[in-house]
């Protein structure tokens, strides 16, 4: 079959993320309300801030904002992660980054499946934060064996999904009919199932070991547990949530509100209590409940360099050390004040972030630069070209996640302050063996984007510096 007959992976991803969103809207009504709120606030924000609007237009970011969302799933065994990587690859999503959540008391390690290259991100940046349960962190050996045996029996992919993944790998793509079938089959894996695979008693035992273990082990598949839209003003959404009947968690995770947003800020609302039927003597099962799915929103800012990230981590750790937010959020104000005060040490204008190499930028040639093309001094530096008005520097958006925020989101949805301290260390090697591939290094990806934009701009200016 010729490559032309294949549906582009970016298009399959858009079909899939659209189908996922429709499914989630039907299953979790508050998701629809949240999507409307986010869209209203994005419109207001864009109307009020032409500079932001222009920047988003220049980086082709404006069109993707309404499509943009991420989801999260939790897997139980290595083969599931292995096949999940193959499934996401059909849609042009690849594992980026390694996150060890055991340090935050959550017995999983994770990666994010997402598009990698610039064009693909621009078309649809759909991402899925994917965690693998670390059964070795269950202390009770008998319970561990029981959990393993339960998981060994399940198959989370439909036979047709596996067949289509195989065909896509073998032929190098899927045609239209296959792609549509693939999306429908793949969706089955992420659907909520109210029939548990275990008895209420087993559920409770696993739940007592860790709520998250029960969430992963007791169900037929890795139900998508949230779908997060991207807002341009998370503080406004957080404030407006109660007016629409949604109650957010006490604090926004991540950096404070700033003129130049960095990395990622997130907030969520609590999981719903869902009706579950456990295996029991009654043919319909024993009725019970489980909290699985929640809502989240996020605001994305500029990607930081290793140096910028170090500064961010140090400042955030000092805030968390100084103020610990209780589950009820009674001291959320203290936390916010402390956060704002300590982050005053993080430069809050793009120019300083750029010249101090704390963040990544995408360079493009200005109109003045185009006029000067061919007449620019060959030895000029990027900084000088910006100063001379020949180059624009626009923020490269952070496309990844933050483990401390992720842990905060996990914990807020585990109900309480549930905190466990796992002695076991992070283990990227084991994770990559289960995955069957290595994860990409996100910092290297941002650096490559920045460099590619410089190379391109230099070429337009007629100074082909980096060409051998
Ligand atoms: C994943 C939480 C991580 C985020 O936005 O940081 C995440 C989970 O609860 O399974 O989605
Ligand atoms: Ni999330």
Report the interhelical angle of 9-27 vs 29-48 (nearest 10°): 120
Provide, rounded to the nearest whole percent, the portion of the chain with pLDDT above 70.
92
DSSP calls for 273-292:
EEEEEEE-SSTT-EEEEEE-
Provide the β-strand partners of residue 449. none
Q: Is residue 337 in a domain?
A: no
pTM of the entire structure?
A: 0.92
What is the rounded average pLDDT of the residues 104-112?
A: 90
Work out which ligand 1 atom sits closest to the CA atom of 406: 6
Confidence band of 417 (pLDDT split at 50, 70, 90): very low
Nearest ligand to residue 413 Cα: 1
What's the confidence (pLDDT) of residue 465? 66
Distance 399 CA to ligand 2 centre (A): 12
- The residue among 441, 443, 440 whose CA lies nearest residue 396 is 443
Q: In the predicted model, is pLDDT for residue 63 greater than 90?
A: no
Return the CATH number at 420.
Answer: 3.10.180.80
Q: Is residue 205 in a domain?
A: yes
- Our count of domains for the chain comes to 1
- In 28-117, which ranges are continuous DSSP H helix? 29-48, 50-58, 62-65, 78-90
Question: How far is Cα 265 from Cα 74, in angstroms, rounded to an integer?
Answer: 22
Confidence band of 348 (pLDDT split at 50, 70, 90): very high
Q: In the predicted model, is pLDDT for residue 12 greater than 70?
A: yes
Question: How far is Cα 224 from Cα 125, in angstroms, rounded to an integer?
Answer: 17
What is the rounded average pLDDT of the residues 416-432?
A: 69
Work out which ligand 1 atom sits closest to the CA atom of 266: 5
pLDDT tens for each residue of 270-311: 767 889 999 987 888 899 999 888 889 999 999 999 999 999
pLDDT tens for each residue of 232-269: 999 999 999 999 888 888 888 899 999 999 999 998 88
- Measured in degrees and rounded to the nearest 5, phi and psi for residue 120 equal -65, -40
What's the confidence (pLDDT) of residue 408? 58
Say which range, 61-70, 91-100, 273-282, 335-344, has the weakest mean pLDDT. Answer: 61-70
Confidence band of 467 (pLDDT split at 50, 70, 90): very low
Q: Is residue 333 in a domain?
A: no
The residue among 313 and 418 whose pLDDT is bigger is: 313
Q: In the predicted model, is pLDDT for residue 426 greater than 70?
A: no
32: helix, strand or coil? helix
What's the confidence (pLDDT) of residue 97? 97
Confidence band of 320 (pLDDT split at 50, 70, 90): confident
Ligand 1 mutation target, pool 129, 133, 228, 414, most atoms within 8 A of CB: 129
Residue nearest to atom 11 of ligand 1 (CA): 72
CA angle 127, 262, 411 (to 5 degrees): 60
**Which residues neighbour 204 within 8 Å (Cβ) at sequence distance 6 or greater?**
214
- The residue among 389, 381, 394, 368 whose CA lies nearest residue 453 is 394
Mean of pLDDT over the chain: 90
Question: For residue 436, is it left (φ>0), alpha (ψ between -120 and 50) or beta?
Answer: left
Q: Is residue 54 in a domain?
A: yes
Residue 49 CB coordination number (10 Å):
14
**Which residues neighbour 136 within 8 Å (Cβ) at sequence distance 6 or greater?**
144, 424
Q: Is residue 211 in a domain?
A: yes
- The residue among 123, 139, 138 whose CA lies nearest residue 60 is 123
**Pocket around ligand 1 at a 6 A CB cut-off:** 72, 74, 129, 131, 225, 266, 296, 401, 405-406, 409-410
What's the confidence (pLDDT) of residue 117? 92
Residue nearest to atom 2 of ligand 1 (CA): 406
Provide, rounded to the nearest whole percent, the portion of the chain with pLDDT above 90.
67
What is the rounded average pLDDT of the residues 385-414?
A: 80
Q: Is residue 281 in a domain?
A: yes
Nearest ligand to residue 405 Cα: 1
Q: In the predicted model, is pLDDT for residue 421 greater than 60?
A: no
Residue nearest to atom 3 of ligand 1 (CA): 406
Q: Is residue 63 in a domain?
A: yes
Q: Is residue 321 in a domain?
A: no
- The residue among 18, 263, 267 whose CA lies nearest residue 124 is 18
The residue among 317 and 227 whose pLDDT is bigger is: 227
What's the confidence (pLDDT) of residue 322? 83
Say which range, 199-208, 248-257, 322-331, 407-416, has the weakest mean pLDDT. Answer: 407-416
What's the confidence (pLDDT) of residue 62? 77
Q: Which domain holds residue 433?
A: 3-303+396-437
Distance 71 CA to ligand 2 centre (A): 6
Confidence band of 410 (pLDDT split at 50, 70, 90): low
């Amino acid at each position: 079959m010729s490559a032309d007959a294949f549906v582009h992976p970016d298009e399959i991803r858009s079909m899939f993320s659209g189908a996922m969103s429709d499914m989630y809207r039907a299953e979790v009504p508050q998701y629809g309300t949240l999507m409307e709120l986010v869209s209203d606030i994005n419109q207001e924000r864009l109307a009020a801030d032409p500079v932001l609007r222009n920047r988003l237009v220049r980086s082709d970011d404006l069109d993707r904002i309404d499509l943009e969302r991420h989801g999260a799933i939790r897997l139980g065994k290595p083969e599931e992660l292995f096949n999940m990587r193959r499934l996401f690859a059909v849609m042009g999503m690849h594992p980026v980054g390694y996150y060890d959540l055991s340090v935050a008391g959550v017995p999983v390690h994770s990666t994010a499946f997402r598009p990698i290259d610039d064009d693909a991100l621009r078309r649809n940046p759909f991402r899925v934060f994917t965690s693998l349960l670390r059964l070795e962190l269950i202390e009770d050996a008998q319970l561990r064996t029981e959990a393993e045996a339960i998981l060994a029996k399940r198959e989370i992919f439909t036979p047709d999904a596996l067949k289509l993944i195989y065909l896509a790998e073998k032929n190098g793509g899927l045609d239209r009919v296959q792609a549509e079938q693939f999306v429908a089959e793949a969706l089955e894996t992420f659907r909520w199932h109210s029939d548990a695979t275990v008895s209420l008693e087993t559920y409770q035992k696993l739940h007592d070991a860790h709520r998250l273990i029960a969430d992963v082990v007791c169900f037929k598949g890795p139900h998508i547990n949230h779908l997060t839209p991207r807002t341009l003003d998370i503080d406004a959404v957080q404030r407006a949530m109660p007016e629409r009947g949604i109650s957010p968690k006490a604090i926004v995770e991540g950096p404070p509100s700033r003129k130049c947003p960095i990395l990622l800020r997130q907030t969520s609302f609590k999981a719903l209590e869902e009706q579950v039927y456990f295996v029991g003597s009654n043919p319909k099962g024993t009725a019970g409940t489980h909290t699985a799915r929640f809502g989240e929103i996020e605001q994305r800012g500029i990607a930081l360099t290793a140096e910028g990230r170090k500064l961010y981590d140090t400042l955030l750790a000092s805030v968390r050390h100084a103020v610990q937010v209780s589950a009820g959020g009674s001291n959320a104000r203290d936390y916010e004040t402390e956060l704002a005060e300590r982050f005053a040490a993080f430069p809050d204008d793009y120019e300083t972030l750029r010249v101090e190499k704390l963040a990544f930028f995408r360079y493009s040639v200005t109109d003045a630069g185009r006029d000067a093309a061919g007449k620019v001094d060959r030895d000029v530096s990027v900084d000088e070209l910006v100063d001379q008005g020949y180059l624009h520097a626009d923020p490269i958006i952070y496309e990844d996640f933050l483990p401390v925020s992720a842990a905060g989101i996990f914990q807020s949805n585990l109900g309480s302050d549930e905190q466990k301290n796992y002695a076991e260390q992070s283990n990227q090697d084991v994770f990559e063996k289960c995955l069957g591939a290595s994860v990409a290094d996100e910092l290297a990806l941002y650096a490559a984007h920045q460099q590619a934009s410089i190379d391109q701009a230099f070429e337009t200016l007629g100074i082909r510096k980096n060409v051998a």
